[in-house]
Structure 1
Amino acid sequence: MDRRRIGFFAAGAVLFAGVVVVLRGGGAPGPADAGITTQPPPPTSLTAFASDGVLAPSPGSVPDPPEGLEAAPGPGSLVVTWTGGAPGYEVRWGLGDVSRTRLVTGSLVELRLADGLEQRVEVRAVDGFGQRSAPASVSGAPGPVGVSEPGAYHLVDRFEGASAPDPARWRLTARPGCARAGAGSDEEAAALVVATTCAGVPAVLRSRAPLVLREDGEELGRFAVGAGAPIANGELALELAPGPVAALSGAEPPPGALRLLVRATEDSVTARVLTAEGDRTRELRPLDGVAPGTGHVWELVLRRDGALVLLDGEPVATSPVVPAWREATALISVSGPIGQRVPVWLAGLGGAPSTAPPLVGPVRVEVTPQGGEAGSGVGAPAGQLRLTVSHTLSRERDAPLVALVSGVPVPLRRAVDGAPVRADTGLPLVGDVPAGVASVSPDGVVGVRLDLGFDATATHAELELGPGGAVPVAANPEPGPPQSALPRPSARVLDASGRPLPPGTPVPRGRVVVEVELVGAPAQHGLAGLAGFGLWLDGTRIASVPTAVGGPAVAGTYRVAVNTGALPGGPLSEGPHMVEARLFGTSGSTRPTSAFASFFAAR
């Protein structure tokens, strides 16, 4: 095969955790690009190749089909499970023609099915070379989407409109550039999709209508959210704060606040009720049937004798906490790894009747060192500036807290009485902005600068405007369609028998083994198809391994034997060397990915 076909061309590279992700450039050169040569895109197929002294792996027998295929209804979804030991699986489904496809690892997949009709599902095992087993099949229909007691909720949003989230009902805040939210499409239809683009930074949906507790009866109020459970290392939180907050952050909620925290690990999900006094949750049953990334309806029921947690209508935990407030801000908080997409398809508030204030805007607040300058935009009505700031203070300070809004000082105060000043907890602040002070730019932006007397960063900021006139409206960043990625690669050099070398041990002359492991972490929308990988030694290609024999592979482990004394360029010299494993997808839109392993050749 021509080496140029599998060449690696890129406009730039990002190095993270030993993995290089290549960003492709494109487009015809313009006048400013005179003399610049454009490069072809990465290949979408590979031909087997091994240089002298190299023995590459080859396909074996076709894998066995998965066993124990089952389909269980979830809220608006079908959860399909099976058993098997293949590195990957191909899932096909549809109303009869099984025309939709997803590549996954693990033995579970959740299919969001907005139409509610019975589907036929086929699952095939896929080995590391793309060979597929015979299919195992099952049929099933999604379950209904709803809460345990619909009459207990006076406000319910199903996020079905193309403009979700409805700005009259919800306000989205996040660290700038760290979250996008909008109406889903295709598999994510009939849901609000919250996509996180910064690791561990919460994106927060605030209900503009407060939760107001009832004054009579045993039940005080309820807060429900139907959403996809977070993927591994992700969190979903239902929060109630007794004050005008934009967001809560940190390990402990402020005094009086409640947080139902749903947290996912690689293989489990937990749900805890947290307060400023700590975790007093009592589990009623384990959450063995809740897999990371699958959708459920969570309800936090507030009673005079404590709080009750419901999962799809069934009690799973209790807490003795009883709120001391009558009205609270309701927040839906999502955080997790980069690329997490959480569909939210239901939210409800139950208690005494409450309504959202009239909508003006919404505007977007940008907090920067230059943001407090006087503006020349439209003067806004009076409003409430809500901030959550991170800082490094460990104790209180007496200096006044001030924000400059369009050049005008606005005093700030704690949004929740008694909110602690702690370096590991965001400080919620609020300030009253007089009419005409906030200057709104044509694209709906208000500039703000903090003047707190100490270093701080606003992680969440919003301006809730009161009635008094129209202002330019800020656009909400859309999440875009889901993106599939290649499996996560790693590479290491082993001795001739395939055993790991002790750290710092030189590689002896002769035969060594390069092991390439491609791990497809469970993904909400599947993995990209793998066309194969190439192996480079000190920048020279020594092998190409195609992995799409019967269709694209998903993941796998491969061993390439290398005789360091019989390479085309002669025996490997004493000293340091580098091996690169470079992955290619079957789609031209898939970004190539590389992993590296360094070693020291002995004399």
Structure 2
Amino acid sequence: MLPEKGPPPDTPRDIRARPAPGRLVVTWNASERATGYRIRWADRTRLVATPDTQLDDLRDGEQYRVEVRAVDAYGQVSEPGRAVGTPGPEPRWQDGLTGLLDEFPDDRTLLADRPGSRWHLSGYRGCVGLGRSVEGEVGLPIDLGCGADEAVLRARAPLRLGPDGVLGRFAVLTDAAGPGGRLTMDLVPGPADRIGSGRRDDPALLPAGTVRTVVDDVGARVVAGSGLDVLPGAPSGVRPGPRGAGALHLVEVLVTTGGVRVRQDGVEVASAPVVPRWREAYALVGIHAPPGRRARVHVAGAGFSGAASADPRVLETPVNLSTRQVLDPAAEAPSVGTVRRPLATAESARFVVTMVMSAGMDVAGARVQVGTWTLPARQAVPGPPPAPGAAVTVVADVPPELLGPSGPDPLTPLVVRAPGAGEGALVQESYLEVVPIPAAPTPMTTTQPARTDRPRATTDAMPTATVTLGDSVGRPLPTTTVTPQGRLLLLVTLNGSTAQWDTGGLEGVQGFQLWLDGRLAASLPTSTATGAPGGTYPIPVGLTGRARGEHTVEVRVVGTTGTTSSTLTHFTTE
């Protein structure tokens, strides 16, 4: 028996339209039985999976009526809820960001091979890059193109704490923490390019003195490294309001004499009773896309309080090491090096390397070998190294003998060494940071960081389908091997929350078919008009009499415009 429709979902309540220049961010309370929502404004409509969306390309000062209907797994819609909003100036979140404020009207402040760069962008080359902005797009676009990427923006100037009260404020306006995504905001007592280890929130993986704020699907929280003063009390956190894909939200970290507080859109969502011992730190903005999905995220503004610093006049150029493996001091190095062209017009220079710690590795003994020179490498963040598996940034100064127009070329080998380096000790990023000779011509190099040519998607994606094997009452099975008797319950899940990352909207589903071993086993229509934004559908399958061996389950999904997709899974009877 196929699942049947229930009553329509409830009408969305408490609809709010928060104004900003050229846009409205619309939020509402989630409706019972809803798997998504249809929004109507002006002459446009959009289907979304979460109770939050951003309406762009609006005229400031013009009043817009917004209508929101809840939609269930079968395309049934509720009565509409309504709100009115007027795009235009928003409360001045930028006020007080005297140490640094960047609203990214373009990507010039990230181009590290040009004078005046204010940020270093760290990311795996070929996967992370600056997106080419399209008309109507708000904020600096960063493309995460390989499905398991992290992009980290590090301010070149430090945040300096004030004397009392709110010692420091660090703010970011971004859509990075949308469904499946993750935003980290780190204050680190040293210019590290990356810290931690992916999505793990273990304090032992952070440099001493680090204050990390995490905002993701779980909620908001503060993760404190060692070397902080701990006050009486316990950390707190609440589940922040909704964050839809493509909707900008303001996240602020306040360092106070009474601890660290975190706000989303002006509402406190987390705190921790810790106070740093440092008086200045470097601000890092970490961006993760949903796992396994290419995505474009936007940073529309970032900055911090405190005394301002002059932008350093450094240039960067990436360097390819002979091997990504961190070598033990006695290990043989490949005969591959690098040209010294970036050093020809350098007043000073240093190698900056971010690598992953392996068990037993002594980062205090790290060296960068450049030809016949062995350069001591110091940690960018002083103190004990983080635990194995964590990223650590080291810096090695280039000696005067390697600067200027003359000298050996190429420099072979170019490797990183550390006592005890073993399996897992890998270089994540390496580049030269150069202070050019005054009035020397800027070397013409490829734009760094790279711009990506991946076009922004303009067609809404359909929800993605997955199939879970369940027993006769729907409990997930621990294995894909089942006995050939009774029945199997296939739970087909159509998930729209991460599918809308590129465009902010979904193509609705008008139905799907389930094929078993190449034969049609079930066909379930949802809605040919509105389209379903997703849902979970239990489909029973009889096992008695089926041949032993592997069986193939295919789900074919059909969208309201005729778009199709399919997914495969398998189970075995024995």
**TM-score bin, normalised by smaller chain:** 0.7 to 0.9
Instruction: Tell me by how many angstroms 1:299 deviates.
Output: 3.1
Residue 337 of structure 2 corresponds to which residue in structure 1? 373
Contact 2:38 2:71 in 1 (8 A): no
Would you say 1:579 and 2:553 are equivalent positions?
yes
- Please give the TM-score of this superposition, normalised by the length of structure 2: 0.75
* Separation of aligned partners in 1, 2:191 and 2:174: 25
Contact 2:94 2:101 in 1 (8 A): no
Residue 51 of structure 1 corresponds to which residue in structure 2? none
RMSD, matched Cα: 4.2
Residue identity opposite 1:598 in structure 2: F
Would you say 1:193 and 2:141 are equivalent positions?
yes
Residue 37 of structure 1 corresponds to which residue in structure 2? none
Contact 2:511 2:526 in 1 (8 A): yes
Residue 110 of structure 1 corresponds to which residue in structure 2? 53
Residue identity opposite 1:473 in structure 2: T
**Which structure 2 segments of 5+ residues have no match?**
324-333, 406-411
Contact 1:576 1:599 in 2 (8 A): yes
Residue identity opposite 1:363 in structure 2: T
Instruction: Tell me by how many angstroms 1:494 deviates.
Output: 5.8
User: Quick one: structure 1 residues 327 and 438, their matched pair in 2 at CA, closer, same or farther if it must change by over 3 Å?
Assistant: farther
3-state secondary structure, aligned to 2:249: strand
Residue 520 of structure 1 corresponds to which residue in structure 2? 496
3-state secondary structure, aligned to 1:466: strand
Residue 88 of structure 1 corresponds to which residue in structure 2? 35
User: Quick one: structure 1 residues 66 and 365, their matched pair in 2 at CA, closer, same or farther if it must change by over 3 Å?
Assistant: farther
Instruction: Tell me by how many angstroms 1:373 deviates.
Output: 0.9
Instruction: Tell me by how many angstroms 1:318 deviates.
Output: 5.6
Query: Counterparts in 2 of 1:398-437, with a 5 A limit?
Result: 400-404=365-369, 409-420=374-385, 422-434=387-399
Instruction: Tell me by how many angstroms 1:584 deviates.
Output: 4.3
User: Quick one: structure 1 residues 535 and 289, their matched pair in 2 at CA, closer, same or farther if it must change by over 3 Å?
Assistant: closer
Residue 326 of structure 2 corresponds to which residue in structure 1? none
* Separation of aligned partners in 2, 1:177 and 1:259: 30
- Please give the TM-score of this superposition, normalised by the length of structure 1: 0.72
Residue 129 of structure 2 corresponds to which residue in structure 1? 180
Residue 310 of structure 2 corresponds to which residue in structure 1? 355
Instruction: Tell me by how many angstroms 1:547 deviates.
Output: 4.2
Residue 211 of structure 2 corresponds to which residue in structure 1? 259
Residue identity opposite 2:357 in structure 1: H
Residue 282 of structure 2 corresponds to which residue in structure 1? 329
Residue 469 of structure 2 corresponds to which residue in structure 1? 492
Residue 466 of structure 1 corresponds to which residue in structure 2? 435
In the TM superposition, what whole-angstrom CA distance separates every residue of 1:348-400 from its partner, at most 9, and x where no partner exists?
Answer: 1321221211253x4234445169514375545232322221132246377x4
Instruction: Tell me by how many angstroms 1:126 deviates.
Output: 3.5
Instruction: Tell me by how many angstroms 1:594 deviates.
Output: 0.8
In the TM superposition, what whole-angstrom CA distance separates every residue of 1:548-577 from its partner, at most 9, and x where no partner exists?
Answer: 521433223445566779xxxxx7445553
* Separation of aligned partners in 1, 2:309 and 2:482: 69
Residue identity opposite 1:518 in structure 2: L
User: Quick one: structure 1 residues 404 and 119, their matched pair in 2 at CA, closer, same or farther if it must change by over 3 Å?
Assistant: farther
Would you say 1:598 and 2:571 are equivalent positions?
yes
Instruction: Tell me by how many angstroms 1:218 deviates.
Output: 5.7
Residue 202 of structure 1 corresponds to which residue in structure 2? 150
Residue 350 of structure 2 corresponds to which residue in structure 1? 384
User: Quick one: structure 1 residues 405 and 335, their matched pair in 2 at CA, closer, same or farther if it must change by over 3 Å?
Assistant: farther
3-state secondary structure, aligned to 2:224: strand
User: Quick one: structure 1 residues 114 and 240, their matched pair in 2 at CA, closer, same or farther if it must change by over 3 Å?
Assistant: farther
In the TM superposition, what whole-angstrom CA distance separates every residue of 1:230-286 from its partner, at most 9, and x where no partner exists?
Answer: 2456442222333332222243375653324123235xx223162324795867985
Contact 1:157 1:348 in 2 (8 A): yes
Instruction: Tell me by how many angstroms 1:501 deviates.
Output: 8.5
Residue 554 of structure 1 corresponds to which residue in structure 2? 533
User: Quick one: structure 1 residues 208 and 147, their matched pair in 2 at CA, closer, same or farther if it must change by over 3 Å?
Assistant: farther
Would you say 1:170 and 2:119 are equivalent positions?
yes
Instruction: Tell me by how many angstroms 1:204 deviates.
Output: 0.9
Which of 509, 533, 536 in structure 1 is aligned with 2:512? 533
Instruction: Tell me by how many angstroms 1:179 deviates.
Output: 2.8
Which of 505, 508, 520 in structure 1 is aligned with 2:485? 508
* Separation of aligned partners in 1, 2:386 and 2:99: 36
Query: Which piece of structure 1 moves more, 453-462 or 286-295?
Result: 286-295
Instruction: Tell me by how many angstroms 1:434 deviates.
Output: 4.5
3-state secondary structure, aligned to 2:382: coil
Which of 341, 359, 369 in structure 2 is aligned with 1:393? 359
**Which structure 1 segments of 5+ residues have no match?**
1-54, 440-445, 566-570
Residue identity opposite 1:594 in structure 2: T
Residue 449 of structure 1 corresponds to which residue in structure 2? 415
* Separation of aligned partners in 1, 2:164 and 2:571: 68
Query: Counterparts in 2 of 1:51-130, with a 5 A limit?
Result: 63=8, 66-68=11-13, 70-73=15-18, 77-94=24-41, 96-97=42-43, 99-101=44-46, 103-106=47-50, 108-113=51-56, 115=58, 116=60, 118-130=63-75
Which of 289, 299, 315 in structure 1 is aligned with 2:252? 299
In the TM superposition, what whole-angstrom CA distance separates every residue of 1:296-327 from its partner, at most 9, and x where no partner exists?
Answer: 33333445665554544566666565544444
Residue 156 of structure 1 corresponds to which residue in structure 2? 101
Query: Which piece of structure 1 moves more, 274-283 or 76-85?
Result: 274-283
Instruction: Tell me by how many angstroms 1:429 deviates.
Output: 0.7
Contact 1:390 1:457 in 2 (8 A): yes
User: Quick one: structure 1 residues 448 and 150, their matched pair in 2 at CA, closer, same or farther if it must change by over 3 Å?
Assistant: farther
Q: What is the number of residues matched between the two proteins? A: 522
Contact 2:552 2:568 in 1 (8 A): no
User: Quick one: structure 1 residues 182 and 163, their matched pair in 2 at CA, closer, same or farther if it must change by over 3 Å?
Assistant: farther
Contact 1:230 1:292 in 2 (8 A): yes
Which of 227, 250, 275 in structure 1 is aligned with 2:174? 227
User: Quick one: structure 1 residues 547 and 364, their matched pair in 2 at CA, closer, same or farther if it must change by over 3 Å?
Assistant: farther
* Separation of aligned partners in 2, 1:164 and 1:329: 17
